[in-house]
């Protein structure tokens, strides 16, 4: 099952990706690549940045996925204070 951990952010798009270790650093696997069983096009190399099929990308960054905020309990579910 695809479980995105980060967002690959460009000037116009935020793409959910799952980080996978590789020999050169980390592969950034998209949901489409995961479902198709293909190799990741994006990778992040230590101290070098983000690459797409070996070409360095300018203006891209990696951000952690926003944490989901639990829903506030309803008034009926809250026990009265004593």
- Kindly tell me if the per-residue pLDDT of 77 is higher than 50: no
pLDDT at 5 over 90: yes
Distant-in-sequence, close-in-space partners of 76: CB < 8 Å, separation ≥ 6: none
Q: Is residue 80 part of a domain?
A: no
Residue 70 lies in a domain: no
Strands (E), 22-81: 26-30, 42-45, 49-52, 55-56, 61-64
Report the pLDDT averaged over residues 8-36: 94
Residue 72 placed within a domain:
no
> How many structural domains comprise the chain?
1
Q: How does pLDDT run across 45-66, given as a tens digit for each residue?
A: 999 999 999 999 999 999 999 8
Q: Domain range spanning residue 27?
A: 6-58
CB 11 within 8 A of CB 24: no
């Amino acid at each position: 099952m695809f479980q995105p951990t980060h967002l690959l952010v460009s000037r116009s798009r935020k793409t959910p990706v799952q980080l996978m270790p590789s020999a050169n650093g980390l592969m950034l696997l998209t949901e489409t690549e995961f479902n198709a069983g293909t190799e990741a096009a994006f990778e992040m190399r230590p101290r070098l940045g983000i690459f797409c099929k070996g070409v360095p990308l300018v203006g891209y960054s990696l951000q952690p996925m926003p944490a989901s905020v639990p829903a506030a309990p309803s008034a009926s579910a809250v026990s009265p204070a004593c």
